Amino acid sequence: MIRVHELTKSFGRSRVLTGVTFTVAPGEAVAMWGPNGAGKSTALRCVLGLLRYHGDIAINNMDIRTSGRAARRLIGYVPQELSFYDDLRVREAMRLFTKIRRVPTSRIAQRLADVGLTGHERKHIGDLSGGMKQKLAIAIALLADPPVLLLDEPTSNLDAASRREVLDSLIALRNNGKTILFTSHRSEEMERLANRVLTIENGVIVDRRVVEQSKKCDSTPDELGSTRLQSAPDHSRPLRDARTVPTPSTNGVTP
Amino acid sequence: MTSAAISHPSVRLSPGHGGAWIDLHVLAPLVKKELRDTLRNKWIVLYTIGFCVLALGLASLARASADMAGFAGFGRTAASLINLVLLLTPLMALSVGATSLVNDRERGMLSYLLAQPVTRTEVYLAKFIGLGLAMGVSILVGFGVSAMALSGASDAGLFVRMTALAFILALSMLAVGMLISAIVRRSGSATGLAVFCWLTFVLLADVGLMGAAIAFRMRIDTLFFVALANPLQAFKMAALSSFGASLDVLGPSGLWASTEFGSALPVILISSLVVWTVAPLLAGWFIFVRRPL
pLDDT digits (tens, 9 = 90+) for A103-129: 999 999 999 998 888 999 999 998 988
What is the average pLDDT across A144-153?
A: 93
- Identify the CA nearest to A217 among candidates A195, A196, A232, A198: A195
Q: Which of A50, A67, A68 sits opposite B293 (nearest CB)?
A: A50
Whether the predicted pLDDT of B275 surpasses 80: yes
Residue with the bigger pLDDT between B59 and A246: it is B59
Confidence of residue B244 (pLDDT cuts 50, 70, 90): low
Q: What pLDDT is stored for residue A53 in this prediction?
A: 93
- Closest chain A C-alpha to B280 CA, distance in angstroms: 24
Tens digits of residue pLDDT in A19-67: 999 999 999 999 999 888 889 999 999 999 999 999 999 999 999 998 8
pLDDT at position B153: 54
The predicted pLDDT at position B225 comes to 81
Q: Given this model, what pLDDT does residue B75 score?
A: 60
A51/chain B closest Cα distance in angstroms: 6
Of B6, B23, B293, the CB nearest to A51: B293
Q: Which of A45, A48, A51, A72 is the best residue to mutate to test the B interface, defined by the most B CB atoms within 10 Å of its own CB?
A: A72
**Nearest CA-CA distance, residue A225 and chain B, Å:** 33
Give B217-277 as a DSSP string.
T--HHHHHHHHHTSHHHHHHHHHHHHTT--GGGG-HHHHHHHHHHGGGHHHHHHHHHHHHH
- For residue B23, which residues of chain A lie inside 8 Å, CB to CB? 69
User: In the prediction, which pLDDT does B250 show?
Assistant: 64
DSSP structural state of residue A127: G
B293 CB neighbours in chain A (<8 A) are 50-51
Q: For residue B159, is pLDDT > 70?
A: yes
Q: Is the pLDDT of residue B62 over 60?
A: yes
Residues in B touching A52 (Cβ below 8 Å): 17, 292
Rounded to a whole number of angstroms, the CA Rg of chain B reads 21
pLDDT in tens, A177-233: 999 999 987 888 888 899 999 999 999 999 898 887 555 544 443 333 333 323 333
CB < 8 Å to B130, chain A: none
Nearest CA in chain B to A140: B116
**Cβ atoms of residues A195 and A239 within 8 Å:** no
A175 in Cβ contact with A164 (< 8 Å):
no
CB contact under 8 A, A73 and B5: yes
CB pairs under 8 A between A and B: 92
* Smallest CA–CA distance from B119 into chain A, residue: A69
Please report which confidence band the pLDDT of residue B7 belongs to, taking 50, 70 and 90 as the band edges: very low
Calculate the dihedral angle through the C-alpha atoms of B266, B271, B277, B283, rounding to the nearest 10 degrees.
Answer: -160
Torsion of CA A61, A67, A68, A73, to 10 degrees: -70
Q: Average pLDDT for residues B4-17, to the nearest whole number?
A: 41
What chain A residue is nearest to B24 in terms of C-alpha separation? Answer: A100
Poorest-pLDDT segment among A107-121, B206-220, B231-245: B206-220
CA distance A214 to chain B (A): 31
The reported pLDDT for the residue numbered A139 is 92
